[in-house]
Amino acid sequence: MAKVVLAYSGGLDTSVAIRWIKEQYNLDVITVTIDIGNARDLSAIAARAEKIGSVKALVVDGRDDFVRYFVWPALQAGAIYEGEYPLATALARPLIARLLVDIAHAEGAIAVAHGCTGKGNDQVRFDVAINTLAPEIKIIAPVREWSMTRDNEIAYATEHHIPIQVTNASPYSVDQNLWGRSIECGILEDPWAEPPEEVYDWTANPDLSKLSSEPPPEPTYIEITFKEGIPIALNGEDIDGVTLIETLNKLAGGYGIGRIDHIENRLVGIKSREVYEAPAAVVLHDAHRALEGLTLSRDQARFKQVIATEYAHLIYNGQWYSALHQDLAAYVYSTQRFVSGVVRMKLSYGHCIVVGRKSEYSLYNHSLATYDSGDQFDHNAALGFIKLWGLPLTTQAQAQLLPEISLNGNLLKGPVN
Ligand code: ARG
């Protein structure tokens, strides 16, 4: 029988999908459950897949690859979607697509399958990545194809003796990996409603008045060492990427750092309310940005913001495997050559701030910056500089604008007057 490789999370949708694909498409289902730091009992999930009827249940540890090839490049790029979302879910999709395709090739499967709905970004990211990497492979998306409600699915599962756990079903849809936790649905669909405390799992309530421990925890200082834009040590000790992210998620999460409440523009044209928990991502982006502040020139830093925005969009929009990405990645790589050094951060309840940074490639020059003795900045040179810098403005003001420059600098007879 021909085979399909299904990305299997162990949840209701993909559990029902094992049986449904077999029935509808007459294919042998191989499941693959990928660990990208989403903390589940993977061998129990694989055992369940076999019980439901998969011919083979694979488990893949994708954590190192996720951090090395997806998270770190996004961190170096400064990729944050719409200024808020560090892109945890979006970054995992091209990795999962790559693994599905590789396994399909290795197993001689004709198709791959995923559990995305027809309304979100994830289906686009999966399908575009899979079609790009392996145009000959067919894509099956059961949840997009079947028209079952949740109750229908439960009935289907009962009828086909599919073991599922739907007791105290949560109203929220949650996706999580090392880089963050994404929560949607339920009351969150009301953009005016404050997210109830129950949606959070990784972060303590940053509201001091709700704190159970008395007195509140003291602030903590941490030092993160970067080499060419990649964090390599915590408090002076070398640390691998996965452990660093796990450690920071726990530590900063314990301070209530990393909660994000975002009205987001989805690729498919709708606005949606998304809540994220991303303690490590928030801390590391802040730290990385601070080190760039010391090591990139003004012009590099300004232009890199343009690239960061584009980079975030291409990740969000499912264009990871594109020539544009290769081009931007080459640029980002070049910018990171001197982004090496140490950033000191203070974590206190509800927020983190950068309090120190140093680098052997620092562009900060104390004798140029100081107002104390030892000042080597040429104050006289400033006069000539100001004259030439302002020359176009003073020229134009005299020739055209002088009678019209009002108190706030706008035209006298503007629409505000
Ligand atoms: N809005 C985010 C994104 O498109 C997160 C999606 C999360 N998915 C979920 N099932 N909760 O990347």
Nearest to 251 by CA among 354, 341, 352, 183: 352
Structure tokens that stand for 341 in this block: 């050094």
Catalytic residue (one of 122, 259, 289, 357): 122
Are the C-beta atoms of 125 and 89 separated by less than 8 Å?
no
Catalytic residue (one of 28, 35, 68, 173): 173
Q: Give the per-residue pLDDT at 164.
A: 80
CA of 316 to the centre of ligand 1 (A): 10
122 is catalytic: yes
| pLDDT per residue as tens digits for the range 181-190 | 999 999 999 9
| pLDDT per residue as tens digits for the range 115-168 | 999 889 999 999 999 999 999 999 999 999 988 888 888 899 999 999 887 655
Region of residue 381 (phi > 0: left; psi between -120 and 50: alpha; otherwise: beta): alpha
**Over the range 12-33, which residues count as b (16 or more CB within 10 Å of their CB) and which as e?**
bbbbbbbbbbbeebebbbbbbb
| pLDDT per residue as tens digits for the range 299-358 | 999 999 999 999 999 999 999 999 999 999 999 999 999 999 999 999 998 899 999 999
Catalytic residue (one of 48, 63, 93, 273): 93
| pLDDT per residue as tens digits for the range 210-254 | 766 666 678 999 999 999 999 999 999 999 999 999 999 999 999
Query: What is the number of the ligand 1 atom nearest to the C-alpha of 274?
Result: 1
| Domain spanning 181-365: CATH 3.30.450.20 | no
Question: Predicted confidence band at 405 (pLDDT cuts at 50, 70, 90)?
Answer: confident
Find out whether the beta carbon of 184 lies less than 6 Å from any atom of ligand 1.
yes
Instruction: State yes or no: pLDDT of 416 exceeds 70.
Output: no
CA of 387 to the centre of ligand 1 (A): 53
Q: Give the per-residue pLDDT at 378.
A: 87
CA of 179 to the centre of ligand 1 (A): 13
Find out whether the beta carbon of 185 lies less than 6 Å from any atom of ligand 1.
no
Fold matches, 3-165+172-177 and 181-365 = no
Per domain, the residue ranges of the chain are 3-165+172-177, 181-365
Does the bond joining 215 to the residue before it have cis omega, within 30 degrees of 0? yes
Q: Report d(CA 214, CA 350) in Å as an integer.
A: 16
Q: Report d(CA 230, CA 218) in Å as an integer.
A: 28
Find out whether the beta carbon of 13 lies less than 6 Å from any atom of ligand 1.
no
Q: Give the per-residue pLDDT at 330.
A: 98
93 is catalytic: yes
Give the CA distances from residue 87 to residues 159, 260, 319, 322, 353, in Å, rounded to whole numbers and listed in that order. Answer: 38, 12, 13, 18, 21
Find out whether the beta carbon of 121 lies less than 6 Å from any atom of ligand 1.
yes
Instruction: State yes or no: pLDDT of 105 exceeds 90.
Output: yes
144 is catalytic: no
Helix H, strand E, coil C: the string for the chain is: CCEEEEECCCCHHHHHHHHHHHHHHCCEEEEEEEECCCCCCHHHHHHHHHHHCCCEEEEEECHHHHHHHHHHHHHHHCCCECCCECCHHHHHHHHHHHHHHHHHHHHCCCEEECCCCCCCCHHHHHHHHHHHHCCCCEEECHHHHCCCCHHHHHHHHHHCCCCCCCCCCCCCEEEEECCEEEEECHHHHCCCCCCCHHHCCCCCCCCHHHCCCCCCCCCEEEEEEEECCEEEEECCEECCHHHHHHHHHHHHHHCCCCEEEEEEECCCCCEEEEEEECHHHHHHHHHHHHHHHHHCCHHHHHHHHHHHHHHHHHHHCCCCCCHHHHHHHHHHHHHHHHCCEEEEEEEECCEEEEEEEECCCCCCCHHHHCCCCCCCCCHHHHHHHHHHHHHHHHHHHHHHHHHHECCCCCECCCCCC
CA of 175 to the centre of ligand 1 (A): 7
Indicate the pTM of the whole model: 0.94
238 is catalytic: no
Structure tokens that stand for 366 in this block: 């104390």
Query: What is the number of the ligand 1 atom nearest to the C-alpha of 174?
Result: 11
Query: Nearest 5°: CA angle at 287, between 210 and 228?
Result: 155
* Residue of minimum CA distance from atom 11 in ligand 1: 174
Pick the range with the lowest mean pLDDT from 107-111, 149-153, 284-288, 330-334.
Answer: 149-153
| pLDDT per residue as tens digits for the range 2-41 | 999 999 999 889 999 999 999 999 999 999 999 999 878 8
Q: What is the mean pLDDT of residues 380-402?
A: 93
Q: Give the per-residue pLDDT at 417.
A: 46
Find out whether the beta carbon of 292 lies less than 6 Å from any atom of ligand 1.
no
* Ligand 1, pocket-test mutation among 82, 123, 175, 275, most atoms within 8 A of CB: 175
Structure tokens that stand for 202 in this block: 């990784």
Question: Predicted confidence band at 406 (pLDDT cuts at 50, 70, 90)?
Answer: confident
Kindly state the percentage of the chain with pLDDT values over 70.
Answer: 96
Q: Give the per-residue pLDDT at 207.
A: 80
Q: Give the per-residue pLDDT at 287.
A: 98
Are the C-beta atoms of 229 and 336 separated by less than 8 Å?
yes
CB atoms within 10 A of CB 172: 17
CATH of domain 3-165+172-177: 3.40.50.620
Give the CA distances from residue 204 to residues 171, 199, 217, 285, in Å, rounded to whole numbers and listed in that order. Answer: 21, 11, 12, 20
Mean of all residue pLDDT scores within the chain: 93
Find out whether the beta carbon of 90 lies less than 6 Å from any atom of ligand 1.
yes
Find out whether the beta carbon of 264 lies less than 6 Å from any atom of ligand 1.
yes
